[in-house]
Amino acid sequence: MNETIQVLRAQAYRGYPECQYDFVRPDTEERLPVIVYIHGGGWISGDRSMYRDEAVWACSQGFAAVCAGYRLAPLYPFPAAVADIQALIHHLRDNADELNILPDAIIAFGNSAGGHLACMAGLCQQDLESGAPAERANAVVSICGITDLRDPTQAHYPLAFSFLDQFMASRYEFDQERWSLASPLCHVHEKAGPFLIFHGSEDEIVPPDQATKLYTALCGVGVSAELYEMPGESHAFSMAAWLNIRQKTVDFIRTL
């Protein structure tokens, strides 16, 4: 384990003040996989500092890490956050030599809304702002992410309605195609990289079947996927469960 790390703070990757990232890596000459940590907060709150401790821990395991900032709703509704993470992956790949990372080992890692964005980063083949082919993450770790935004009043808990409406800036019944476009489940394809999926069995914010539906769809097209339902865990994981997630994530990345 390296005792020192290299740190780059507040690195811009787009022309918006919110689009900055912090980068950390072990102080080594070796090119490393990079974990892109994407914070939760219902697409309407949170910031990149939420994952700084995890990024430092990732360095102790021999990985580089990025804490991603992105534009938030309601000021910037869908597809802004998705397009920002797509742009960040493009930026990291373009600057892989300077950052000394492996351009084909970019892992999108997110919880809750961040899990949704990580899934979109690994699946969506089109840049949702420009329409050009998208740069995708090579692998995804999704933790209690929303995977299917469609039919929200039936598929989701009432607690989620407010932030779903703010993220989408439209009502599902009037704009079903847009809500489908925002759903990772609608972007599943056979060329996607491996997925590692976690969900608490007692999640009170995102229904556990959101994870099951994604896992089933991925397996259905031959994508490598693992699903762990965490018994008794809610949307906020216990320390024991989080340590388990950490270890399984490390094992997953080391097999890529």
pLDDT at 3 over 70: no
Handedness of CA 153, 157, 162, 164 (dihedral sign): negative
The single-letter code of the amino acid at 68 is A
Domain span holding position 176: 5-254
CB atoms within 10 A of CB 105: 20
Nearest Cα to Cα of residue 72 among 38, 111, 106, 24: 38
Q: What is the pLDDT of residues 106-150, one digit of tens each?
A: 999 999 999 999 999 999 999 998 899 999 999 999 999 999 999
In the prediction, which pLDDT does 2 show? 46
**Percent of the chain at pLDDT above 90?**
97
Burial of 125 (0-12, 13-18, 19+ CB in 10 A): exposed
User: Which domain CATH number covers 146?
Assistant: 3.40.50.1820
Residues 34 and 24 sit within 8 Å (Cβ to Cβ): no
Taking the C-alpha atoms of residue 241 and residue 220, their distance in angstroms, rounded to an integer, is 28
Q: In what order do the strands lie in the sheet with 64-68?
A: 5-12, 20-26, 64-68, 32-38, 101-111, 139-143, 195-200, 225-230
In the prediction, which pLDDT does 1 show? 44
Mean per-residue pLDDT of the chain = 96
Q: Using the structure block, give the residue that is written with the tokens 């994952």.
A: 51
User: Domain tally for the chain?
Assistant: 1
Q: What is the pLDDT of residues 190-233, one digit of tens each?
A: 999 999 999 999 999 999 999 999 999 999 999 999 999 999 99
Residues 172 and 181 sit within 8 Å (Cβ to Cβ): no
